[in-house]
Chains A and B, each alone.
Chain A
Amino acid sequence: MIDYLVMGAGLSGLMSAYAAVQSGHRVKVIAKGLGALHWGAGSIDVLGYLPQARDAVVRRPLERLADLPANHPYTILGPAAVQDGLDKFMRLTEELGLPYYGAEAAGENLLLPSPAGALRPAFLAPAAQSAGTASDDAPMLIVGFERLRDFYPELIAENLTRQGIAARAVKLPYELLSDRRDANTVQLAQELDDENRTERLAEFLREAVRPGERIGLPALLGLARHAQVVTRLALAAGAPVFEIPTLPPSVPGIRLFNTLRAGLEARGVRVEAGMEVIEMNAEEGVIRWVASETSARPLRHSAERFVLATGGILGGGFMSDHTGRIWETVFDLPLTTPQSRSQWFRPAFLAPDGHPVFQGGVRVNAAFQPVDAQGAPCFANLHVVGGALAGCDPLAERSLEGLAIATGMNLLKE
């Protein structure tokens, strides 16, 4: 019998599994897919914009948690626990060889170039991304590649320039990256793991860069040998090198996922994908087992405690239909989301206050147990973490990864 069954292999699921196994519990992770890390930027966004003031970027996120509503997961946790979770994440990723860094001025958000050339507020970023911070005034050379459809250096450079950041763009031949006709960023990153390719690219970078510049490249600088690739490129080009994320699939996100998964497996935790939970069984308010779909017959998973880390609408934890019904897919937990489509959306896609349908979720108590309308726990042995939580819109406020880490790492906090 295992102690914790975690459902979901996104960042919140992996963090929950880590928290539980570090406390000496037996843990298993089952998931339908592989989580949202594969889509995102690979950075850790804690809080970029406050719901009521989406125009102004949050400079010091942990100092602004008090401005969040009472039902926000950060408010329920408290700032100390959020900070503690992030510290643990930094120690863990450093130990696993994929270190994450914050701004030089401790506690501040990094402002990093987005693939459109806007400045993204991120609290922590992998070493290769944090070197692109706007607080450094070294001019940028944004390097793209002919035919690479997921990265446009001129667009980035122009928008950075409009924001007062010195930047120019060059495009290098696509053949430096690959001999294939068609490759996505993950395949290109794997190709750069090859030392000969790294050397050849470095020669071109050395030619292109001017003294004092730092070089921004699409985030495909190696997958398994990422750190060596970045070091080698910087050394050979004679300039600092940083990564700018690309359209999905996200190489930095996949690096983090692979690193965390390997770290968990080294601690004896199995992470199994392709297991969508389709059935559950509870007696007297205690969950006994859940069953996942397999090719033959439903497979039952029993555990002492269960962690729901299936995410919200994005992760697949919630489903909805044309009548306006929206529900949590495993336990049918009560959601705060309006059950009427007329209340789901605002007229503008980029509405400053976000869309109500994405703000609802599972209401929880201080122990992150889901509760009903009266505030009583729905099940004695169920916890909810990450994107499924009510009281926040993790995309609009740029808190997706921060919420996952803070709620996951604090799974066992009393």
Chain B
Amino acid sequence: MKRINTEILVIGGGATGTGIAWDAALRGFAVALVERRDLTHGTTGRYHGLLHSGGRYVVKDPQSAVECIQENRTLRHTHAHCIEETGGLFVVTPEDEGDFPDLFVQGCAETGVPCNEISVAAALRREPLLNPRISRVFEVPDGSADSFLATHATAQAARQAGARILTYHAVTGLLVTGGDGDKRVVGARVMDAVSGEEIHIHAAMVINATGAWAGRITGMVGIPISVIPGKGTMVAMNHRLVNTVINRCKMPADGDIIVPVHTVAVIGTTDERVADPENLRIEPWEVQLMLDEGEKLVPGISRARVVRAWAGVRPLYQEDYTGDSRDATRKFALLDHQRGHGVAGLITITGGKWTTFRLMAEKTVDLAVDYLGERQPCRTASTQVPGAEQGHYWLGHRLHEIEEEHLQGELICECELVTRTMIENAAKRNPTVTLDDIRRDVRLGMGPCQGGFCTYRAVGILHELARQAEGAGPTEEETKEGTERDAAWEVAYLQSPRHNLSADERPARDEAGLQPNLLLRDFLQERWKGVTPILWGRQLKQERLDELIYLNLMNADHLPQTGEKSPLTDFYLYDATPNEQTEAPA
């Protein structure tokens, strides 16, 4: 059993957890972060990608709106390269009657969200596919964000400040001293999901940043907390049908927003209270609702091709709240379990939204400081994460770099313009257990063919890395230098073809255990899970071509296997096929 000593242990590798690790490390604390899967595997990697202006909350939840616009401005500076300046429009459709638009304008003024009414004609010039029957349009500073890249960049900033980030490390229990009345959490028992090794991490403060899963951690020390898992289903359209975030100007409801992210447009979302944050089935009515509602903003959208559907689960915290999850507050909740439950050494942060992750992290570390003592002040609001100097994301950046550098022949994923060295370097720089980890790094397999061509190619490439890595296990010296090596990881440019012209000089080593046939089957199943809810029409034909490739050509279902399993094999196998038995709630 390994033992690690640190001051602050953060549980959860989403936006909030990595933000806390970054903030605390910058203030001078010794920090370790554990995440049971890959960074962003939970809610952070499953949201629609909206950088809120706050407009969505000005009427319903003004405090959230104030936080959003403040953080919107901050993140444009600190995480510039993770954000696209799309701008946003709030539009009044023929179905949105009443005084909401006036309340909206008033709310924007009161909360400081910049809002500018423009003519319908001007809006249609900007977004020609917009419903021409809209009556009013308000322009706000919404944006779209790449939550995968942003979290990686935050994690790297944390590493550079001395934090240790351990992915595929699951908390199996909390280390506790004292009995009833003077309990103190002094660390956590952690299991390395790949090697099976148990590690005890001792810390003066444990911060539970597990979002919708927060109750599972506090439950380990007998603290019941009420986090409402609010499932949100989203669908990604095959085209970027709009270049501006389009919101319905009404009280937030299902399917009232379209966000252009990278090459697709995402319609979101539903909000369903669910019992289990883990296995999220997508029901046919949810997909239908997204398309029907999307139709009101962009007529004809339901006849366009859908590439994928997925669901994330919002961590909505409200003490003693039992109503609909849609009406639960979007504000975040910071729980001091010493004051609240008499258990020292444990803080829970939950609720909130991606746009406010940095602020949540700041407030959380402020509370930790109350117990651990003052260090340096918070610096995250003014410190850029690595890669931010590239400036804002724009849609053409990959194509531009591919063309400038003549990399057409290096493309492994033609849909998302991923080159061979981008994959190799992502595998070396970020812990890689499944191809899905590579997907989150470089967008492998996220385009129209959903991995039809690139799955096989990426498996071939990772297998070559694994062969190189065989027999090149870490020396003792290198293990000691592990933390320094972590700090040098250059993940800021994961998504840039130009910054990955040559292979990373670090030797392949951690890839030694990768089993190609397992990588292949896991990723095919992972992709399948997200397409079954939307397979019809041309996307069904595309899927049949993928079957032709993996059944007839590869014979992938008869590759030699000896029952190998990854930590995610069972997760991917969860039954996500449409089920007509359930109906939309009345």
Query: Does A377 sit at the interface, judged by CB under 8 A?
Result: no
Chain B residues, CB < 8 A from A183: 409
A152 to B423, CA, bound (A): 15
Given A341-B578, A350-B525, the answer on whether A118 and B540 have CB atoms closer than 8 Å is no
Query: Does A117 sit at the interface, judged by CB under 8 A?
Result: yes
A377 to B35, CA, bound (A): 62
For A, the interface residue count at a CB cutoff of 8 angstroms equals 59
User: Nearest Cβ in chain A — how far from B303, in angstroms?
Assistant: 9
* Chain A window 117-158, contacts with chain B (Cβ cutoff 8 Å), 1 for yes, 0 for no: 111110000000000000000000000000101111011001
Query: Does B557 sit at the interface, judged by CB under 8 A?
Result: yes
A400 to B411, CA, bound (A): 30
* Residue among B406, B520, B525, B547 facing the most chain A CB atoms (10 A cut-off): B547
- The secondary-structure label for the interface of chain A is loop
* Chain A window 166-202, contacts with chain B (Cβ cutoff 8 Å), 1 for yes, 0 for no: 0000000000000011110000000000000000000
Q: How large is the interface on B (under 10, 10 to 19, 20 to 34, 35 or more residues)?
A: 35 or more
A319 to B305, CA, bound (A): 13
- The secondary-structure label for the interface of chain B is helix
* Chain B window 533-572, contacts with chain A (Cβ cutoff 8 Å), 1 for yes, 0 for no: 0111100110011011111111111111000000000000
Query: Does A225 sit at the interface, judged by CB under 8 A?
Result: no
Query: Does A50 sit at the interface, judged by CB under 8 A?
Result: no
Query: Does B121 sit at the interface, judged by CB under 8 A?
Result: no
Query: Does A116 sit at the interface, judged by CB under 8 A?
Result: yes
**Is the CB–CB distance between B540 and A313 below 8 Å?**
yes
Query: Does A360 sit at the interface, judged by CB under 8 A?
Result: no
**Is the CB–CB distance between B545 and A314 below 8 Å?**
yes
Query: Does B311 sit at the interface, judged by CB under 8 A?
Result: no
Which of B17-25, B358-366, B455-463 is near enough to bind chain A?
A: B455-463
Query: Does B33 sit at the interface, judged by CB under 8 A?
Result: no
Query: Does A320 sit at the interface, judged by CB under 8 A?
Result: yes
- Residues 346 to 365 of chain A near chain B (Cβ within 8 Å): 346-350, 352, 357-358
User: Nearest Cβ in chain B — how far from A317, in angstroms?
Assistant: 10
A349 to B527, CA, bound (A): 9
**Is the CB–CB distance between A395 and B552 below 8 Å?**
yes
Query: Does A340 sit at the interface, judged by CB under 8 A?
Result: yes
Chain A residues, CB < 8 A from B579: 342
User: Nearest Cβ in chain A — how far from B502, in angstroms?
Assistant: 14
Query: Does A54 sit at the interface, judged by CB under 8 A?
Result: yes
Which of B105-113, B152-160, B283-291 is near enough to bind chain A?
A: B283-291
Given A116-B456, A358-B547, A398-B552, the answer on whether A181 and B409 have CB atoms closer than 8 Å is yes
Chain B residues, CB < 8 A from A352: 557
User: Nearest Cβ in chain A — how far from B346, in angstroms?
Assistant: 38
**Is the CB–CB distance between B541 and A39 below 8 Å?**
no
**Is the CB–CB distance between A115 and B573 below 8 Å?**
no
**Is the CB–CB distance between B463 and A57 below 8 Å?**
no
Closest to A57 in B: B558
User: Nearest Cβ in chain A — how far from B459, in angstroms?
Assistant: 7
**Is the CB–CB distance between A115 and B537 below 8 Å?**
no
Query: Does B263 sit at the interface, judged by CB under 8 A?
Result: no
Given A147-B409, A245-B553, the answer on whether A342 and B284 have CB atoms closer than 8 Å is yes
A396 to B547, CA, bound (A): 8
**Is the CB–CB distance between A181 and B408 below 8 Å?**
yes
Query: Does B327 sit at the interface, judged by CB under 8 A?
Result: no
Q: Please tell me which one of the listed residues A40, A320, A358, A398 contacts residue B536 in the complex, with CB atoms under 8 A apart.
A: A320
Q: Please tell me which one of the listed residues A36, A147, A344 contacts residue B548 in the complex, with CB atoms under 8 A apart.
A: A36
Query: Does A93 sit at the interface, judged by CB under 8 A?
Result: no
- Residues 208 to 257 of chain A near chain B (Cβ within 8 Å): 245, 247-248
**Is the CB–CB distance between A152 and B547 below 8 Å?**
no
Query: Does A316 sit at the interface, judged by CB under 8 A?
Result: yes
**Is the CB–CB distance between B409 and A341 below 8 Å?**
no
Chain B residues, CB < 8 A from A347: 573-577
Query: Does A159 sit at the interface, judged by CB under 8 A?
Result: yes
Query: Does B198 sit at the interface, judged by CB under 8 A?
Result: no
A312 to B409, CA, bound (A): 33
A319 to B553, CA, bound (A): 24
Query: Does B54 sit at the interface, judged by CB under 8 A?
Result: no
* Residue among B420, B456, B460, B535 facing the most chain A CB atoms (10 A cut-off): B460
**Is the CB–CB distance between B577 and A181 below 8 Å?**
no
A386 to B405, CA, bound (A): 46
**Is the CB–CB distance between A247 and B541 below 8 Å?**
no
Instruction: Give 18 pairs: A residue, B residue, CB < 8 Å, sorted on A.
Output: A115-B456, A115-B554, A118-B554, A147-B420, A150-B457, A158-B463, A182-B409, A247-B453, A248-B549, A313-B541, A314-B541, A322-B537, A340-B580, A342-B577, A342-B579, A345-B532, A347-B573, A400-B552
Given contacts A158-B516, A350-B521, 17 further A-B contacts (CB under 8 A): A40-B552, A114-B554, A118-B556, A149-B411, A152-B463, A155-B459, A158-B463, A159-B559, A181-B406, A181-B409, A183-B409, A344-B577, A345-B535, A357-B535, A358-B547, A395-B548, A400-B552
